[in-house]
Amino acid sequence: MRTYEVTITGSAPGLLMHRFDLEAEAEVQTKVKKTARKDDTPESQAARGAYSFDDGGLYQPAEHIYQALCKAASWFRVPGQGKKTYKDAIKGNILIEPECIPHGVSSYKIDSRPVRIQRARVVRHRPHLPQWSLAFTIQVIDGDTVPGEVLNSILVTAGQSVGIGDYRPRFGRFTVTQFKAA
């Protein structure tokens, strides 16, 4: 098993969050459509969409990094294996810790823009981090399957072309500022 310490820093225009909240989940399970709330302010809508700890600090799910790596890995071919890519190797061999990667901040701006939901145009208010950075570890279970140089290249490509969070790749793009073996 190989472990890499990674730090990524967000690129402009920043990162948008939109967590699938418990009310939306209940709505999907009961198939009852929510009526518009009169007390639904931009601040409350953005707060429901933020990935936040109980103490108010913001985090990013490790799943977002994992999915970005999987998508970017499909653009990298395994040498000597024909058209086979690193996608399956990444899916089966990568662990990202911690599960909730802290941003180290608790404040955000509110981004308001129209979106289409079931052919209707509505305004969504989402948490926006203009500047952000995340530090985490990537464990490669079988280090021979995904070499460190290839993993770094996949991560760089994920930051440039895939991104994380909502409304990507315009938002959520990043640069790799640290990638070293632990």
- Do residues 156 and 163 lie in contact, with contact meaning Cβ atoms separated by under 8 Å? no
- For the cut 80, the answer to whether the pLDDT of residue 72 exceeds it is yes
Which CATH number is associated with domain 2-181? 3.30.70
**Cα dihedral sign, 49-71-92-95:** negative
Q: What is the mean pLDDT of the chain?
A: 92
Residue spans per domain, the chain: 2-181
Residue 7 has pLDDT above 80, yes or no: yes
Give the pLDDT mean for 20-45.
70
What's at 106, amino acid-wise? S
Residue 168 per-residue DSSP state: T
- Give 99-117 pLDDT, tens digit per residue: 999 998 999 999 999 988 8
> Is residue 5 predicted with pLDDT exceeding 90?
yes
**Strand ranges for the chain from DSSP E:** 2-10, 15-16, 59-61, 94-97, 100-102, 109-117, 120-129, 133-140, 174-181
| pTM listed for this prediction | 0.88
Q: Assess whether pLDDT exceeds 90 at residue 38.
A: no
In the structure, how many helices (H) and strands (E) does the chain have? 5, 9
Residues 132-180: tens digit of each pLDDT: 999 999 999 998 899 999 999 999 999 999 999 999 999 999 999 999 9
Query: When comparing pLDDT for 27 and 116, which is higher?
Result: 116
